[in-house]
Amino acid sequence: MTEKEKQQAGELYNGNDRELVAERINAKKLCMEYNAITYNDFQKRERLLTRLVALKGENTVIEPDFFCDYGYNIIIGDNFYANHNCVILDCAEVIFGDNVFIGPNCGFYTAGHPLDAETRNAGLEFAKPIKVGSNVWIGGNVCVMPGVTIGDGAVIGGGSVVVNDIPAGCVAVGNPCKPVRDIDEKSKKD
């Protein structure tokens, strides 16, 4: 089994494998090119983003600067907006539903490292997928950690660190991020 196959299977893998390094370099070059595009050249940004991510829906906007590890593990639904300084470490799949809005300085990190120092120092790591449902709003400076699922209609408060799954239809905040209330009919008007 190759290191990439191990990575995609959720097993420990060597992130310094030549194939993986080459793929990250390619993605970093595309990110650098994307971030250098003139702000109002929407067509060029659209074309480059299509080359970078696995799949994207209609009306996708990712403000520069944007960074990812591979790109081919990122799946984006319709009506997606990510503000400046979005980082997606997509060693495993990162799936965004429709109508997802992300504040500035947010990170989605599928990569993790063993607690055991000897294993970690050997260059081994793992990756767990992240899934963000539809109609989700994520405030600024949020970190979403490996293996997390955020349910449809959830709102994640700014500055939160999401280490556990968040149910649908709630407001969740904090470090660690926890649901604090459901979004009821009155809240929908706030």
Helix residue ranges, H only, 3-77: 3-8, 18-36, 42-52
3-state secondary structure of 119: helix
**Which pLDDT tens digit goes with each residue over 145-189?**
999 999 999 999 999 999 999 999 999 999 999 999 999 766 655
Give the integer Cα–Cα distance in Å for 61 and 82: 6
Specify the higher pLDDT residue, 189 or 32: 32
Rounded mean pLDDT, 34-51: 94
What is the pLDDT, as a whole number, of residue 137?
98
What is the pLDDT, as a whole number, of residue 160?
98
Rounded mean pLDDT, 47-55: 94
Are 156 and 177 in contact by the 8 Å Cβ rule? The answer is: yes
- Domains, the chain, ranges and CATH? 3-189 (2.160.10.10)
Give the integer Cα–Cα distance in Å for 98 and 51: 20
Query: Is residue 113 annotated as part of the catalytic site, yes or no?
Result: yes
Catalytic pick among 4, 28, 113, 131: 113
